[in-house]
Structure 1
């Protein structure tokens, strides 16, 4: 613990902005991860309940089920089933679901891009801290005696490099978290698209049987 505190203190003023960036990034990552896992679980649950009802052709019951649920998948199916009750064309139902997807996807991606931005900011703060530390170091060396210059310069450069190191130690995990959340979001979007196609095929198949 002492070593960590000493490392932080030696990094200078810019260690504090980097620490703030790290805290904000972790907060965003945790909130997004919890949200996406909840969305994934809710979508899986409602689809397991609605799919058998769609296969049976009981669209009124399916419409009632998705209207009572607040999951992302229910919102998409609700738009399609609402159009199904008014029209028979597959294209109209598909357009309604695509319109709903355009509203859902931005909510899934919300705040995730900030992690990549914060990663870059942490790196830049680290470099800025190092440059400012080196400027201070060379200014101090200029006024030091020849015997002290080497030792003073080495100590100052070591302190300045701590800031760059901390910036990279912050940036790399944030980039990894960004990649993981982006992958999870993509999986959810793909599952929604798959459900959309399955629901459309089921509705079309049952509609053809009626004629």
Structure 2
């Protein structure tokens, strides 16, 4: 309990900027949680891409298409839709390119805000520190020869910078995590979609067999 009270007291000493930084930290955590749930739901996974590639390499087109139909996520859904369009005689490559762009746009949604907070949080912390140092080195303190008050005020002012850096580091770590996840999804899309485009005739025949099985 004492540690909590000490932490709250230290937080209040950082000034009004601390509340803005607290909001930023909560915003980062909310975005991270929401994005993780979305990625977990809409990413077909590296295991799917690997199994699909293996089955296509073995010319098991029926098994590859069955895997795509039974799997969830954007990549699997686009593959199934592309095969269905190929069966109708429609263009596949342009369809997959458009759908992959739309899917990636959804994956990248809100990640820009994390990048903004990475830059903004240290600046807010620095603003709070400068504001605190101006108060610490005020004419009143200097004339009163309150050296302890001055040094104490500088120490309290640095709290905002430290907190701002912590928020920026957290946002940077979460942003990097999801950027790498997006890169993995792009790799999976390139590998699987190139196979679908090259083997669309075989997959279309497999789709016909699967439909009447």
Normalising TM by the smaller chain, what interval? 0.7 to 0.9
Give matches, 1:150-161, under 5 Å.
150-161=147-158
**Which residue in 1 is equivalent to 2:112?**
113
Deviation, structure 1 residue 199: 2.0
Instruction: Check the 8 A contact 1:43/1:72 in 2, yes or no.
Output: no
**Which residue in 2 is equivalent to 1:132?**
131
Runs of 4+ in 1 over 6 A off after TM superposition: none
Provide the secondary structure at the position in 2 that maps to 1:12. coil
Deviation, structure 1 residue 125: 1.2
TM-score, length-normalised on structure 2?
0.78
Determine the C-alpha separation between the residues in 2 that align with 1:86 and 1:191: 25
Instruction: Check the 8 A contact 1:43/1:73 in 2, yes or no.
Output: no
TM-score, length-normalised on structure 1?
0.78
Deviation, structure 1 residue 27: 0.9
Judged with a 3 Å threshold, the aligned counterparts in structure 2 of structure 1 residues 206 and 121 are, in CA distance, closer, same or farther, namely: closer
1:166 and 2:169 are equivalent in the alignment:
no
Provide the secondary structure at the position in 2 that maps to 1:148. coil
Q: What does the per-residue CA deviation read over 1:183-208, in whole Å, with 9 as the maximum and x for residues that have no partner?
A: 0111012112211112223325578x
Determine the C-alpha separation between the residues in 2 that align with 1:145 and 1:112: 46
Deviation, structure 1 residue 129: 0.8
Say which of 27, 35, 40 aligns to 2:38: 35
Instruction: Check the 8 A contact 1:76/1:100 in 2, yes or no.
Output: yes
Give matches, 1:93-112, under 5 Å.
93-112=92-111
Over aligned residue pairs, what C-alpha RMSD do you find?
3.2
Structure 1 runs not aligned, ≥5 long: none
**Which residue in 2 is equivalent to 1:123?**
122
Structure 2 runs not aligned, ≥5 long: 205-213
Q: How many residues align?
A: 199
**Which residue in 2 is equivalent to 1:22?**
25
